[in-house]
C-alpha cells in the first residue's frame, strides 16, 4: 500500500465581521480573523484546520499574520513530503524545527487529523479514542459593553433555549463599575442562569481579593483568570481564600503548566483550548494532568469559527469529565461562515457533526469572498 504524503499546505487569512462589538479587558473586537489551513495530501485527501486568536497581538503572542508567515515560511516546507498518516511523527518534526508557535501547530495538527479521519472514514473524536458525549453544553459571553443590552441578550437566549450560562467579560472598567454591572445582570437573571466572569488578567491580587469578595456575595459562579498568568502564588492565595471557584485560562497552556498549578493549588478549574495547547493532543494531555490532580475541566475557545470550534468539540467530547461544559459559541458571534454545514446549537448544547474527519465542508464561494488576499474589486457577494 502506498503511504500518503503531505503535498502542500495553504494558510489563508479570513476576515469575518462579528454580530456586535465584543468587549474584552484588552481589546474591542468588531471582526474576527481566522487563519484557515488547507493541507493537501498525495492521495487527494484534503484536511482543514484553523488557528485563530483574539485582537491581533493583544491576547496572545501569535497574530493571524504571524501565524500565516510561520506556516508559509517554516512549518509547511518542513511537512512537505512527510507521511500524512503519522500525525505524531509530523508534529514531532515541527517541534524539532520550531519553538512555540502553538496556534500555528494546532491548525496543522487539526488538518492532519481531519485528513486521516477522512482517509479512514472515521471522525476526529474516534481517532482520539472515541467520544463519550455527542453534544456539549455551550455558554454565551455577554460583552456588548452595555448592561441593559446584555440582560436583553441573556433573556432572549434563555427563552430560545440556546444558552443558560453566561460569561461576562470584565476588567476593562473601574472595579466598582464592573461589580455593579455583573451584580445587575445576576440579579436580573436570578437562579434561571449561571453567571461567570472572565477578567483576562486585568487585576492585581489586592484588587482581585476585594472584587471577588463582592462577586461571590452577588452569587457569581466562577472567576476566570483574575490576575496575571505568571502570578501563580497569588492565584493560589485567592483560590484558598474564596469558596467561588477560580479558573486558570491564560495560566494554563501545557501539561507542565497544569502540573505547576496542581502543585501550588493555583486554580480549581482549568480552561482547555486546543490553540494554546499546540493542538488536540496537547489539550488532552493537559486535561489528563488536571483531571488526575482533581481539578475540574472547561472547554475553552479563542473565538474560533466553525472549523476551530468543531475541532475543539471533537477533543472535548472525548474527555471523561468536563464539569464546566464549554464556551464553543464562536461561530454564533460571527455574521457569516465559511463552511457549508456549521455546527448545530439547540437545547443549550452544541451538537457534534457526523461524518468523517471534522465532518465539515468548506463553502468555496464564502471563502473566496472573505479571504483577505482577494482584491475588493474582484469580490462578488453571494
Phi first, then psi: what are they for 43, rounded to 5°?
-95, 20
Which residues 183-202 are close enough to bind Mg ion by CB under 5 A? Answer: 198
304 binds Mg ion (CB under 5 A): no
**Residue (249 or 337) nearer to Mg ion, CB:** 249
**Residue (258 or 367) nearer to ligand MUC, CB:** 258
Binding-site member from 50, 249, 291, 349 for Mg ion (CB under 5 A): 249
Q: Using DSSP bridges, classify how beta strands 28-41 and 46-52 pair: parallel, antiparallel or unpaired.
A: antiparallel
Residue, CB closest to Mg ion: 249
Q: Are 264 and 291 in contact (CB under 8 A)?
A: no
Measuring CA to CA, which residue among 203, 201, 230 is closest to residue 214? 203
* DSSP tag of 71: I
Q: Least distance to Mg ion from the beta carbon of 97, Å?
A: 30
Phi first, then psi: what are they for 253, rounded to 5°?
-120, -10
Residue 62 among the catalytic residues: no
Residue, CB closest to ligand MUC: 141
Return the one option of ligand MUC, Mg ion, none that residue 169 interacts with (CB less than 5 to 8 A, by type): ligand MUC
62 binds Mg ion (CB under 5 A): no
Query: Which of 153, 250, 304, 327 is flagged as catalytic?
Result: 327
Give CA separation, 209 vs 199, 228, 269, in Å. Answer: 13, 14, 18
Dist. CA 75–CA 71, nearest whole Å: 5
Return the one option of ligand MUC, Mg ion, none that residue 141 interacts with (CB less than 5 to 8 A, by type): ligand MUC
Return the one option of Mg ion, ligand MUC, none that residue 163 interacts with (CB less than 5 to 8 A, by type): none
Q: Are 85 and 116 in contact (CB under 8 A)?
A: yes
Give CA separation, 105 vs 186, 254, 302, 372, in Å. Answer: 39, 14, 15, 21
The C-alpha cell 497569588 sits at 234
Dist. CA 164–CA 16, nearest whole Å: 26
**Residue (200 or 277) nearer to ligand MUC, CB:** 200
Return the one option of Mg ion, ligand MUC, none that residue 286 interacts with (CB less than 5 to 8 A, by type): none
Which residues would be at the binding site for ligand MUC (CB under 6 A)? Answer: 24, 54, 141, 143, 169, 198, 200, 249, 300-301, 303, 327
Q: Least distance to Mg ion from the beta carbon of 333, Å?
A: 14
Q: Are 37 and 111 in contact (CB under 8 A)?
A: yes
Residue 327 among the catalytic residues: yes
Q: Least distance to Mg ion from the beta carbon of 242, Å?
A: 18
Return the one option of ligand MUC, Mg ion, none that residue 327 interacts with (CB less than 5 to 8 A, by type): ligand MUC
Query: Which of 169, 186, 273, 276 is flagged as catalytic?
Result: 169
> Taking contact as CB under 5 A, which single stretch among the options 71-79, 179-187, 248-256, 257-265 is the one that binds Mg ion?
248-256
DSSP class per residue in 169-217: E-SSS-HHHHHHHHHHHHHHHGGGSEEEEE-TT-S-HHHHHHHHHHHHH
Q: So which residues are the catalytic ones?
A: 169, 327
Amino acid at each position: 500500500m502506498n503511504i500518503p504524503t503531505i503535498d502542500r499546505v495553504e494558510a489563508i487569512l479570513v476576515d469575518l465581521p462579528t454580530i456586535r462589538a465584543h468587549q474584552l479587558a484588552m481589546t474591542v473586537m468588531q471582526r474576527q480573523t481566522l487563519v484557515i489551513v488547507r493541507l493537501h495530501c498525495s492521495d487527494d485527501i484534503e484536511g482543514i484546520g484553523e488557528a485563530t486568536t483574539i485582537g491581533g497581538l493583544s491576547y496572545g503572542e501569535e497574530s493571524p499574520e504571524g501565524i500565516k508567515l510561520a506556516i508559509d515560511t517554516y512549518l509547511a516546507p518542513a511537512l512537505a513530503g512527510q507521511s500524512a498518516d503519522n500525525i505524531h511523527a509530523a508534529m514531532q518534526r515541527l517541534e524539532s524545527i520550531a519553538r512555540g508557535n502553538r496556534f500555528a501547530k494546532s491548525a496543522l495538527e487539526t488538518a492532519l487529523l481531519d485528513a486521516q479521519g477522512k482517509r479512514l472514514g472515521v471522525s476526529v473524536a474516534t481517532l482520539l479514542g472515541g467520544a463519550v458525549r455527542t453534544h456539549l453544553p455551550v455558554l454565551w459571553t455577554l460583552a456588548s459593553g452595555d448592561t441593559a443590552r446584555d440582560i436583553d441578550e441573556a433573556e432572549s437566549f434563555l427563552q430560545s433555549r440556546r444558552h443558560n450560562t453566561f460569561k461576562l467579560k470584565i476588567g476593562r472598567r473601574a472595579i466598582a463599575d464592573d461589580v455593579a454591572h455583573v451584580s445587575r445582570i445576576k440579579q436580573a437573571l436570578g437562579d434561571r442562569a449561571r453567571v461567570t466572569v472572565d477578567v483576562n488578567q486585568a487585576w492585581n491580587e489586592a484588587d482581585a481579593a476585594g472584587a471577588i469578595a463582592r462577586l461571590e456575595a452577588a452569587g457569581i459562579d466562577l472567576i476566570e483568570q483574575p490576575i496575571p498568568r505568571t502570578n501563580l502564588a497569588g492565584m493560589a492565595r485567592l483560590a484558598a481564600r474564596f469558596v467561588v471557584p477560580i479558573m486558570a485560562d491564560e495560566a494554563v497552556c501545557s501539561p507542565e503548566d497544569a502540573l505547576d498549578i496542581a502543585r501550588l493549588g493555583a486554580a480549581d478549574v482549568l480552561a482547555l483550548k486546543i490553540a494554546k495547547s499546540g493542538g488536540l493532543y496537547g489539550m488532552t494531555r493537559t486535561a489528563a494532568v488536571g483531571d488526575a490532580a482533581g481539578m475540574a475541566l472547561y472547554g475553552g475557545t479563542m473565538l474560533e469559527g466553525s472549523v476551530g470550534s468543531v475541532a475543539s468539540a471533537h477533543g472535548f467530547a472525548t474527555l471523561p469529565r468536563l464539569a464546566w461544559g464549554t464556551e464553543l459559541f464562536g461561530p454564533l458571534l460571527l455574521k457569516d461562515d465559511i463552511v457549508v454545514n456549521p455546527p448545530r446549537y439547540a437545547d443549550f448544547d452544541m451538537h457534534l457533526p457526523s461524518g468523517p474527519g471534522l465532518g465539515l465542508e468548506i463553502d468555496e464561494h464564502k471563502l473566496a469572498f472573505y479571504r483577505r488576499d482577494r482584491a475588493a474589486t474582484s469580490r462578488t457577494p453571494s
